[in-house]
Chains A and B, each alone.
Chain A
Amino acid sequence: MTSPKLGSVIEWIIERLLFLCAALSVLTTAGIIGVLALETYEFLRQVSIVEFLTGTEWTPLFSNQKFGVLPLVAGTMLVSAIAMVVALPMGLLAAIYLSEYSPSGLRRIVKPILEILAGVPTVVYGYFALTFVTPLLQRFFPQLSGFNALSPGIVMGLMILPLVSSLSEDAMRAVPRGLREGSYALGATRMQTALRVVVPAAFSGITAAFILAVSRAIGETMIVAIAAGQQPRLTGNPFVPIETMTAYIVQVSLGDTPQGTIEYRTIFAVGMLLFLMTFSLNLISTWLRERFREEYA
C-alpha cells in the first residue's frame, strides 16, 4: 500500500494529466486559428484584403493572378442553397412523420437506415453524383454540363437530410406531451397539432438543426470536388461548372505547390474564411440549442 501522503500526490498528478487531455481540445482550436491566421497574415501582406474579399476573379493558378474570392464564395453558396432546398423541407417532414405519425415498429427500422445514409463516406456520394445523378438529370435538362452545381447540391442535400431529421425529431420529441394533448382536446388533427403546436414549440431546436446543416454544407468537400468542376465562376446558374472554397483547397493540395509561395498561402486564406463562416454558424446553433433546453428543462 502506498502511504496516504504519496497517494494524494498521485491523485493530484492524475487529475492534472486528465485535465491536460481535456485542454487539448482548446489547444486544437487555438492551433487551427493559429495556423490559419499565420499564413493568412502572410497572404494579406501580398494581396490587399479589399481585393481578396470584393474581387470578382479568382485565378491564382494562372499567370495573370487575380485574388478575388467571391467566385469561390458564390460557388459554395450556390451548392449549399441547392442542398438546403432538398434537406430542410424533406428533413423536417421526415422528422414530423417519425415524431408524430410513425408507429414505433417502423421507426425502429427507419432510424438505423437513416443513420447508414449519414455514415456513407462523402467520396462515395461524390461518385454517386457524378456517375448516376448527373446523367439522370441530363435527361431532363439537356443543357446540363457534365460538371455542375445542381447534381452535387441535390446529393449533398440527401447526405445532410439525416442530420436535419434526427436533430429536428429530437427537438420535437422534447416538446411536453401535455401541449399535444391540449391541442387534441380542442379537436385539432395531428397535422394541425404538428404544424401549429409542436413545430413552433420546438422552433429554436429545429432552427439549430437547420443552421448546423448549412454549416455542414458549406464545409462539405468531396462531393463538390468530384462533381462540381474546377472553374471558379461568379454565377447563380446551377447548370455550369463552378468551384467551391473547399474544392479549391483540394485542387491546390493535389498539385505540387511549394511551401511559402502565394499559391500555397491562398488555401489558408480560403480556409480561414471557411472556418470563420462555419464557426460562427456553429456558435449560433449551439446557443439556440442551449436556449431550447432551458425552455423545457
Chain B
Amino acid sequence: MRKHADLLFQLLSLATLLVALAALGALVFDIFSDGASRLSWPFITNIASRNAEDAGVYHALMGSIWVIALTGLLALPVGVAAAIYLEEYGTRSRIARFIELNIANLAAVPSIIYGLLGLGLFVRLMGMGQSVMAGAATLALLALPVVILSTREALRTVPGTIREGSYALGATKWQTIWHQVLPMALPGVLTGLILALSRAIGETAPLITIGALTYIPFAPDSVWSKFTVLPIQIFNWVSRPQAEFKANAAAAILVLLALLLTMNAIAIVVRDRYQRQGRA
C-alpha cells in the first residue's frame, strides 16, 4: 500500500514536470505555426506599415540593438564597481549589509515600477525625453542587480591565494584587484552581463511607461533619437484585431527569440574561450 502511494506520488510529480515542458512545447509550436510563413528577408528590412503584408521590423530591431548596447555600456562599469566594493572592500560593514539587502529587494521590484522611475527621473526631470538614452538608463537600473549578483559570484570563484600572492609581492589592494582578480573573474562577469541584457531585451512594460512610441517609421541614429523596440512592436501588432497583424506579431517574436538565442550563444562561447585560456 505504502509502496503504491509512493509510486503514484512519484508519477504525479513527474507528470507536473511534463505538463510544464509540454506548455513550453505548445508555446514554441504555436508561435512557429503562426509566424514562420510570415518570416522573410523583407520582413527584417522593411519598416512598420499600416499594411500588414508590407510591414517589417527593421526600425524595431535597430531600436532594440541600440537600447541594449547602451544599456550594457551603462550597467557594466557601475555593476562591476559595485560588486567589487561589496565583495572586496566592505564585506563586513553594516552599510554593506544594508546595500546588499537593498539590492536583493530591488531585484524583485516589478519592471513597470522602474518604468515609472524612468518617466519621472530621466524623461521629465533630467529632460532626456523619450530617447534611446532614457530607455537605456531605465533598463540599466533594472539590469544592475543581476549584473552585481553575477559579478560577485564570479569574484568569489577567484582563489584567495591569488590575492595573497599579489600582496606578498607588494601590490596594493586595487592593483591586486585590477591586475589579478578582475581578469580571472572576467568570463563570469561577461556571462552574467549578457544574461542580464538578454532579460532586458525582452522587457516591454518599462519602455512603454517611459513613453517609447509604438509607431516610428525610422531607426535611431543617435542616443537622443526617439525609438521603439521589438517587444513594443510585438505588443502593438498583437493588440490589433486583424489576423494578419497577429501573424506579424508571431514572426516578430521569432526574430526576438533568435536575437535572444544569439546572445546566449555568445555568452557560452565567451565563457568557454576564456576558461580554456585560463587553463593554458
Contact = CB atoms under 8 A, between A and B. Distances in A.
20 contacts: A22-B86, A25-B82, A25-B102, A25-B106, A28-B144, A35-B116, A39-B120, A93-B12, A117-B24, A120-B24, A121-B256, A192-B2, A221-B205, A226-B235, A246-B110, A253-B119, A259-B124, A267-B116, A268-B120, A271-B113
A222 B238 CA distance: 11
A274 to B, nearest CB: 6
B202 A25 contact: no
Interface string B101-119: 1111110111111111101
Indicate the member of A21, A101, A216, A279 with the most B CB atoms within 10 Å: A21
Nearest to B96: A22
A90 B13 CA distance: 8
Contact of B121 (A31, A192, A225): A31
A101 B13 contact: yes
Interface of A: 7-8, 10-11, 14-15, 17-19, 21-26, 28-29, 31-32, 35-36, 38-39, 89-90, 93-94, 96-98, 101, 110, 113-114, 116-117, 119-128, 130-132, 158, 161-162, 189-192, 194-195, 212, 215-216, 218-222, 225-226, 246, 249-250, 253-254, 259, 267-268, 271, 274-275, 278-279, 282-283, 285-286
B-side interface mostly: helix
A283 B27 contact: no
Contact of B256 (A113, A124, A192): A124
Interface in B62-113: 77-79, 81-82, 84-86, 89-90, 96, 98-99, 101-106, 108-113
A164 B109 CA distance: 17
Contacts of A215: 108, 110
A222 B144 contact: no
Nearest to A10: B174
Interface string B164-184: 000000001110000000000
A250 to B, nearest CB: 6
A201 B175 CA distance: 45
Indicate the member of A21, A22, A279 with the most B CB atoms within 10 Å: A22
B193 to A, nearest CB: 15
Contacts of B84: 18
Given A123-B202, A218-B110, A282-B105, A28 B231 contact: no
Interface in B1-45: 2-3, 5-6, 9-10, 12-14, 16-17, 19-21, 23-24, 26-27, 30-31, 34
Contact of A28 (B90, B106, B115): B106
A-side interface mostly: helix
Given A28-B106, A124-B27, A158-B23, A7 B5 contact: no
Contacts of A17: 81
A267 B106 CA distance: 20
Contacts of B113: 32, 36, 219, 271, 274-275, 278
B13 A38 contact: no
A35 B5 contact: no
B238 A219 contact: no
Given A18-B81, A119-B199, A128-B27, A286 B101 contact: yes
B13 A250 contact: no
Interface stretch (B51-59, B155-163, B208-216): B208-216
A221 B5 contact: no
Contact of A29 (B77, B89, B102, B112): B102
A131 B117 CA distance: 32
Question: How big is chain B's contact interface, by range?
Answer: 35 or more
A195 B8 CA distance: 14
Contact of B112 (A125, A132, A191, A249): A249
A132 B9 contact: no
B235 to A, nearest CB: 5
B136 interface: no
Nearest to B212: A253
Indicate the member of A7, A110, A127, A226 with the most B CB atoms within 10 Å: A127
Nearest to A7: B172
Contacts of B9: 191, 194-195
10 nearest A-B residue pairs (beta carbon): A219-B110, A121-B202, A35-B120, A97-B13, A21-B81, A18-B85, A221-B205, A189-B6, A22-B82, A191-B9
Contacts of B231: 121, 123, 222
